[in-house]
Amino acid sequence: MLLHQIAFYVLAAVAIASALGVISFRSAVYSMLSLIVNLMSLAFFFLMLQAIFIGTIQVLIYAGAVMVLFLFVVTMLAPDTESVGGRNPLRWQWGAGIGLGIILAGGLILAVVNGSLARDAHAVGADGLARQVALHGNVEAFGLALFHGFSFPFEITSVLLVIAVLGAVVLGRRILGREE
């Protein structure tokens, strides 16, 4: 149990540090790389929660495929304008943003520390989920839920993908036209 806790805190520190890195690095490539670290540590969180399938998918799709694509695009499109920024004309927003962010983080930490999290979590009915996983196995339980109770959100996500393809066609072709 102690090992489990140590692993959790180390992973949490890595996840937070890399998430901060994503928004604070000036170079887009560095931001990408720390996003990969962030997604990897999230994958480990899923593994610690025994969501083996989700953890694997997280590595394969997000940390793997999507991020490689991102890196390709960033390195291809902006080789010389590597660092963005310069003087920020809205400096006061930094202070306000950090202040409000601390308030939000404080509120969420309060929610966790208050102990209500543990009490609420008991009501969730995670027992039923654990029983299904024990009955069918991890991937099977996921697949059964996805194609039975949650088939409808799964299906309409395909509409989302159609729209994304249309967007790529429309916006991409138009930009090429402008360059000619």
Partner 1 sequence: MIVADSAFTYTPGAADWVRILPELILLGAALIVLLADLATPAGRKGWLALIGLLGVAGSAIAAALLFANGDGQSAFFGMIAADKAALFADFVILLSVGLGLLFSPGYVERQGITQLGEYYALMLLAALGMMFMASATNLMIIFVGLEVLSLALYILSAYIMSRSRSREAGMKYFILSSFASGFLLYGMALTYGATGQTNLQAVRVFMAGNAFHSGTGFGPLLIAGLALMAVGFCFKVSAVPFQAWTPDVYVGAPTSVTAFMSVGTKVAAFLALARVFDVALLSVHATWMPVLWAVAVLTMIGGNIMAVTQRDVKRMLAYSSIANAGYMLIAVVTGTQDALAALLIYLAAYAAMNLGAFGVALAVERSDGTGATLDDFAGLARHRPALSAAMSIFLLSLAGVPPLVGFWGKFYVFQAAIIGGHLELAIIGVLTSVIGMFYYLRVVWAMYFQEPRAVGIPAVSTLSVEPPAPAAAPASASGGGAAVLVAEPAVVAAPAPQEAYQPPVLAPGAWLGLAFAVALTVVLGILPSGFVDLAIQAAHTILR
The interface region with partner 1, picked from 55-63, 67-75, 78-86, 169-177 by CB under 8 A, is 169-177
- Compare residues 2 and 88 and give the one whose CB is closer to partner 1: 88
- Compare residues 6 and 61 and give the one whose CB is closer to partner 1: 61
Residue 148's DSSP bridge partners are: none
User: Reduced to 3 states, what is the DSSP secondary structure of residue 83?
Assistant: strand
The interface region with partner 1, picked from 5-13, 50-58, 84-92, 164-172 by CB under 8 A, is 164-172
Q: Which of 72, 48, 44, 75 is nearest to 59 (CA)?
A: 44
Binding to partner 1 (CB under 8 A): which residues in 75-134?
A: 107-108, 110-111, 114, 116-117, 119-121, 123-129, 131-132
Under the binding rule (CB under 8 A), the answer on residue 145 touching partner 1 is yes
Interacting residue with partner 1 among 3, 80, 160, 180 (CB under 8 A): 160
Q: Which residues of 78-111 are buried (b: 16+ CB within 10 A; e: fewer)?
A: eeeeeeeeeeeeeeeeeeeeeeeeeeeeeeeeee
Burial of 29 (C-beta count, 10 Å sphere; 0-12/13-18/19+): middle
Under the binding rule (CB under 8 A), the answer on residue 9 touching partner 1 is no
For helices 138-147 and 151-179, the axis angle rounded to 10 degrees is 80
d(CA 10, CA 8): 6
Q: What is the binding site for partner 1 (CB under 8 A)? A: 107-108, 110-111, 114, 116-117, 119-121, 123-129, 131-132, 136, 141, 144-145, 148-153, 156-157, 159-160, 162-164, 166-167, 169-171, 173-175, 178
